[in-house]
Chains A and B, each alone.
Chain A
Amino acid sequence: MSIDLLVQALLNGFGLAMVYVLVALGLTLIFSILEIINFAHGEFYMLGGYVTYYAFAVFGLNYFATLGFAILAVGLAGVVAERLIFRYLRGKTLNAFIVSLGLLWVMQASAQLSFGVLDKPVPSAFSGIVRAFGLVISVERLVVSLSAIVLIAALYLFLRWSRPGRAMRAVAQDADAAALQGVDIELVSALGFGIGCALAGGAGGLLAPVFAVSPAMGALPVVKAFIIIIIGGMGSLPGAVVGGLLLGSVEGLGSLFMGSAAVSVLGFLVVILALLVRPRGLFGGA
């Protein structure tokens, strides 16, 4: 087998991996601040998809303006969900699981009732392909991947340097100690949940033209995000990026040798293997 084919397979695998990393980063950010797993995360992704459909495909807004709008709108929806529901569930993992499940059903049913059950196609903003070094990639996927990388970088800078970002990291490390230092836990919790959802919304906006928009579209990226988080370690941002690259390369290379069903089994087997070697994920803390 030629090296070109292997590299091309890797590139195909990486193609959408960065978008799934965005979804995973949202999940892991919410987990590290509120200690809950938000099962309705994929529904915020779905919301981003519908915002994109209406703003871009129906009203004809600019692609990148649409993306920004989707991120803001879904982030706002996340803040509302946190204030109304999730702030009462901080640290109650089991209860939050049930509640987020309820929210998942509510959001999916609302989407079905208001947008219909049928897939809504979103036209591609970019066409054509790029050839370089004997490799082929579509412009659309390139833009999607690069946009995702920009968003990941923005999140990193925000958490690393900004005041609210540092407050978030402080709460993630030790909420009580952060509160004693004057960090407003309520504010950080609402902001963290909102940003987490905004990332999912951005991912939904990015993938809306790649796949179609539908009420159940959130299931696949969330499963991938879970795999990424387990590999990389819960609550770790670099872990999520590495986990995404690992999953992307395993899926890309796997698709050379086996069918898509077997590839999805492969993803879960990588998870189990990773946990056997590093029970808390590659970058997980103690």
Chain B
Amino acid sequence: MEPSRGFGAPIAGLALLAAGVVALPQLTRDSYYLDVATTILMNLALTMSLRLQVSTGQLNMAHISFMGIGAYASALLVTRVGISFWAALPIAAVVAALLAFPIGGLALRVTGPYYFLITFAFSEVVRLFFNNFFVDLFGGPSGLVGIPKPSALPWFGRALTFTTKLELYTLMAALLLVTAAVLVRLEHSRFGLVASAIRQGDLLAETLGVNVFRYKLTAYVVGSLVAGVAGAHSHQVLHSSDFGLEPMVLLVVFTVIGGTGSVWGPVAGTVLMTIAGELLRELHHYESLVFGVVLILTMLWAPDGLVALPGKLARRRRAGVSLAP
């Protein structure tokens, strides 16, 4: 399903997202669910930026590494260099983006499964690096601990503090909404159109004068910048395994289940799959068994993702075809 190019749809979508973000903490002030909600927002930033890269036809398995680079950079800037969190946040994001240039530049020389595998190799190198090298700097296998929470900000004569879970949620919410606005704007720009052209046929796009490599690299760097922000936003503890294959795979699941054809696909996928995961938690031993079955059936029944489903059902109803898959 191609995204609509109308002006109303993106504004309405962003408004809906903002309303959801504001409404979420009203449902519960329970500290566990606020943590879940904050994680959803962080994952939204990650999946939406991952989808930006997928929109040029490439699945980047090292996306989570740039979140890790942002997280470690911000943590070290605050604890070792001693600058404020608010200065460390943009610097860490820029560090992630700068590292994305050489890594993306190398990886994007190949396409398809090769790209998938080389980015996976990169992510493992980054994870093993954080885990095994410069242990007194990165904390090694036991992780980096004692990272302070963001310092208070002056706001019209008052001090905005970031100590409670709700305040940290608000910080992530603000970062996400800015990120989402930028990504949605990008989707409905010339860049989004060209990216979609590249996905549908990069050779054809190239013959029409599009510098395919530059577009892919731009998507890579912008995506990594967002991942850097998501990583830097605020952690009190860092473990290299937080930036390994397992969380990366979850991001891909959220993105693809939601649907990569639309900028809203990852949003639907992340929210619904996180809720499904929380509900399945009750099943204990059967949790991953049922989650696996859900993944298989969803992909077989909705190969273009959940956001493509309403349109598909409507077309089927019009054509008078039965709903059996």
Partner of A94, one of B256, B285, B294, B296: B256
Contact of A234 among B113, B286, B289, B296 (CB under 8 A): B113
Chain B nearest CB, measured from A268 CB (Å)? 5
Complex contact B125–A272 (CB within 8 A): yes
Query: Which of A109-117, A141-149, A187-195, A200-208 contacts the other chain?
Result: A109-117
A: interface residue count bin: 35 or more
Q: Whole-angstrom distance between the alpha carbons of A229 and B287 in the complex?
A: 32
* Interface residue? B110 (CB, 8 A): yes
Looking at the complex, which one of A85, A101, A226, A275 makes contact with B110 (CB distance below 8 Å)? A275
Residues from chain A with a CB closer than 8 A to the CB of B93 are none
User: CA of A271 to CA of B120 in the docked complex: distance in angstroms?
Assistant: 10
C-alpha spacing A145/B259, complex, angstroms? 44
B-chain residues with CB within 8 Å of residue A88 when the two chains form the complex? 300
Residues on B with beta carbons closer than 8 Å to the beta carbon of A271: 117-118, 121
Q: In the complex the two chains form, is A264's CB within 8 Å of B128's CB?
A: yes
| Residue B122 interfacial (CB < 8 Å) | yes
Q: Quick check: is A98 within 8 A (CB to CB) of the other chain?
A: yes
- Residue pair A101, B253 in contact (C-beta under 8 Å): yes
Interface residues of B in 259-305 (CB under 8 A from A): 260, 285-289, 291-296, 299-300, 303
Chain A residue with minimal CB distance to B54? A94
Contact residues in A for B285 (Cβ distance below 8 Å): 109, 112-113
Instruction: Please name all residues of chain A whose beta carbon is closer than 8 Å to the beta carbon of B292 when the two chains form the complex.
Output: 101-106, 109
User: What CA separation (Å) do A264 and B128 show in the bound complex?
Assistant: 8
B121 touches A31 (CB 8 A): no
B163: shortest Cβ distance to chain A, in Å? 37
Partner of A261, one of B128, B295, B300: B128
Chain B positions 105-137 with a Cβ under 8 Å from a chain A Cβ:
106, 109-110, 112-114, 116-118, 120-122, 124-125, 128-129, 131-132
Neighbouring B residues of A223 by C-beta, 8 Å: 124
A265 to B130 Cα, complex, angstroms: 11
Binds B, one of A50-58, A123-131, A276-284: A276-284
Does B22 reach chain A (CB closer than 8 Å)? Answer: no
Task: Check A230–B121 contact: CB distance below 8 A.
Answer: yes
In the complex, whether A217 has a CB less than 8 A from a CB of chain B is no
Considering the chains assembled together, what is the distance between the CA atoms of A184 and B189 in angstroms?
46
* Residue B59 CB within 8 A of the other chain: yes
Is A272 touching B118 in the complex (CB atoms < 8 A)? yes
Pair B132/A262 contact, Cβ less than 8 Å: yes
- A22 → B minimal CB distance (Å): 19
Chain B residue at smallest Cβ distance from A94:
B256
Whether a CB of chain B sits under 8 angstroms from the CB of A93 is yes
Contact of B295 among A98, A230, A264 (CB under 8 A): A98
Q: Which residue of A lies closest to B131 (CB)?
A: A261
Q: Does A83 contact B (CB under 8 A)?
A: no
Which residue, A31, A101, A234, A271, has most C-beta atoms of chain B within 10 A?
A101
User: How big is chain B's contact interface, by range?
Assistant: 35 or more
Residue of chain B at shortest CB distance from A109: B289
Point out the residues of chain B lying under 8 angstroms from A101, CB to CB.
Answer: 249, 252-253, 292, 295
Q: Does A12 contact B (CB under 8 A)?
A: no
> B245 CB to closest chain A CB, in angstroms?
9
What residues on A are CB-neighbors of B197 within 8 Å?
none
Q: A102-B295, A112-B285 are in contact. Are A234 and B114 (CB under 8 A)?
A: yes
Residues of B within 8 A of A92 (CB): 303
Residue pair B121, A279 in contact (C-beta under 8 Å): no
Interface residues of A in 42-85 (CB under 8 A from B): 85
Q: Do A105 and B299 have beta carbons less than 8 Å apart?
A: no
Given A104-B292, A230-B118, A272-B106, decide whether A109 and B112 contact each other with a Cβ distance below 8 A.
no
* Contact B260 A94, beta carbon cutoff 8 Å: yes
Is B129 touching A265 in the complex (CB atoms < 8 A)? yes
Q: Is the CB of A97 within 8 A of B252?
A: yes
Cβ contact within 8 Å between A95 and B131: no
Contact call A275/B114, Cβ cutoff below 8 A: yes
A139 at the A/B interface (Cβ < 8 Å)? Answer: no
Residues on A with beta carbons closer than 8 Å to the beta carbon of B124: 223, 264, 268
Q: Can you list 6 A-B pairs, Cβ within 8 angstroms, ordered by A?
A: A99-B295, A102-B293, A234-B117, A279-B114, A280-B110, A280-B114
- Chain B residues at the A interface, C-beta cutoff of 8 Å: 54, 59, 106, 109-110, 112-114, 116-118, 120-122, 124-125, 128-129, 131-132, 249, 252-253, 256-257, 260, 285-289, 291-296, 299-300, 303
Residues of A at the B interface (CB closer than 8 Å) are: 31, 37, 85, 88-89, 92-95, 97-99, 101-106, 108-110, 112-113, 223, 226-227, 229-230, 234, 261-262, 264-265, 268-269, 271-272, 275-276, 279-281, 284
Known: A108-B288, A268-B128. 12 other contacts (CB 8 A): A98-B299, A101-B253, A102-B292, A102-B295, A106-B293, A109-B292, A112-B285, A261-B128, A264-B124, A265-B129, A275-B106, A284-B114
Closest A-B pairs by Cβ, 5 of them: A102-B295, A105-B292, A106-B292, A109-B289, A102-B296
